[in-house]
Chain A
Amino acid sequence: MGTIGEAVRRRRSALRSGLTGRFLDLGLIVVVAAFLILLATRVLEHGPSFFLQILTFAIANGGIYALIALGYTMVYGIIELINFAHGDVFAFGAFLSASLIPVFGLGEDKPFGVLPALALLGVFVVTMLVCGVLNVSIERIAYRPLRHAPRLAPLITAIGMSFFLEGALFLWKGPSNVHYPNVLPSAGFNLFGAEIGTKEIIVIVTALVLVVALALFVERSRLGKAMRATAQDRDASLLMGIDIDQTIAATFFIGALLAGAGGTMYGLYYNTSVFDLGFSAGLVAFTAAVFGGIGNIYGAAIGGLLIGMIQSFWDGYFESAWTQVVIFAVLILVLVFRPTGILGMRVPEK
Chain B
Amino acid sequence: MTSLRQFWQSGPRRDPNTVAYIVLLVVAISFPILATVATGGQGEVMINVAADAGVYVLLAVGLNVVIGFAGLLDLGYAAFFAIGAYTYAFLASDHGRVTPLGEPIHLPFWIVLFIAMFVAASFGVILGAPTLRLRGDYLAIVTLGFGEIVPRIFKNASVWTSGVNGISALDIPALPLWLQGPWSGDPFAIVPDFKIISPLAYYVIMVLLLIISVVLVRNLHRSRLGRAWMAVREDEVAAAAMGVNTVAVKLLAFSIGAAFSGFAGTFYAAKLSLVSSENFGFSVSITIIVMIVLGGMGNIPGVITGALLIYGVIFILLPQMPEYATGFANSVGLSGLTHPSGDFPGIGEFISRLKFLIFGFILVVVMLVRPQGLLPSRQREQELQKGIAHEDTVIEDVTAEVGG
Interface residues of A (CB under 8 A from B): 80-82, 141-142, 145-146, 148-157, 159-168, 170-175, 235, 238-239, 241, 243-244, 279, 283, 286-287, 290, 319, 321-322, 324-325, 328-329, 331-332, 335-336, 339, 347, 349-350
Contact = CB atoms under 8 A, between A and B. Distances in A.
A146 B364 contact: no
B142 A335 contact: yes
B402 A239 contact: yes
B156 A173 contact: no
Contact of B357 (A82, A171, A244): A171
A153 B367 contact: yes
A167 B402 contact: no
B388 A149 contact: yes
Contacts of A163: 286, 356-357, 359-360, 363
B144 interface: yes
A222 B84 CA distance: 54
Contacts of B144: 283
A153 to B, nearest CB: 5
* Centre residue among A150, A239, A319 by max chain B CB count within 10 A: A150
B34 to A, nearest CB: 34
A321 B363 contact: no
Contacts of A151: 136-137
Contact of B361 (A159, A160, A328): A160
Nearest to A326: B149
A148 B384 CA distance: 11
Contacts of A82: 137, 140-141
Given A160-B360, A171-B357, A325-B153, 17 more contacts: A80-B137, A82-B141, A142-B364, A151-B137, A157-B363, A160-B367, A163-B286, A171-B353, A235-B398, A238-B403, A283-B148, A290-B138, A290-B141, A325-B152, A328-B148, A335-B131, A339-B134
Interface in B356-402: 356-364, 367-368, 371, 384, 387-388, 391-392, 395, 398-399, 402
Contacts of B134: 335, 339
Contacts of A328: 145-146, 148-149
Interface stretch (B35-43, B67-75, B217-225): B67-75
A302 B13 CA distance: 57
Contacts of A350: 135
A251 to B, nearest CB: 17
Given A235-B398, A328-B145, A160 B137 contact: no
A336 B293 contact: no
A288 to B, nearest CB: 12
B361 A174 contact: no
B403 A159 contact: no
Contacts of B384: 149-150
Contact of A166 (B71, B360, B368, B392): B360
Interface string B30-73: 00000000000000000000000000000000000001000101
Interface string B131-172: 100111110111011101100110110000000000000000
Interface residues of B, number: 59
A167 B387 CA distance: 32
DSSP class of B's interface residues: helix, strand, loop or mixed?
A: helix
Nearest to B297: A152
B282 interface: yes
Contacts of B140: 82, 155
B145 A160 contact: no
Contacts, number: 163
27 contacts: A149-B387, A150-B387, A152-B136, A156-B363, A157-B368, A159-B363, A163-B359, A164-B360, A164-B361, A167-B360, A174-B345, A238-B398, A283-B145, A287-B145, A319-B156, A322-B152, A322-B156, A324-B149, A325-B156, A332-B127, A332-B131, A332-B145, A335-B134, A335-B138, A336-B131, A339-B134, A339-B135
A243 B392 CA distance: 16
Top-7 shortest CB links A-B: A160-B363, A164-B360, A167-B357, A167-B356, A163-B360, A148-B391, A328-B145
Contacts of B131: 332, 335-336
B8 interface: no
B141 A243 contact: no
A164 B358 CA distance: 7
B145 A146 contact: no
B28 to A, nearest CB: 29
Nearest to B403: A243
B130 interface: yes
A161 B343 contact: no
Nearest to B355: A167
Contacts of B364: 141-142, 157, 160-161, 164
B70 to A, nearest CB: 11
Nearest to A172: B343
B350 interface: yes
A89 B135 CA distance: 25
Contacts of B75: 159
Given A145-B368, A163-B359, A155 B73 contact: yes
Interface in B276-309: 282, 286, 289, 293, 297
Contacts of A168: 357
B360 A165 contact: yes
Contacts of B361: 160, 164
B398 A241 contact: no
* Centre residue among B131, B361, B364 by max chain A CB count within 10 A: B364
Interface string B68-97: 000101010000000000000000000000
A274 to B, nearest CB: 13
Nearest to B135: A349
A325 B149 contact: yes
B358 A167 contact: yes
A174 to B, nearest CB: 6
B148 A161 contact: no
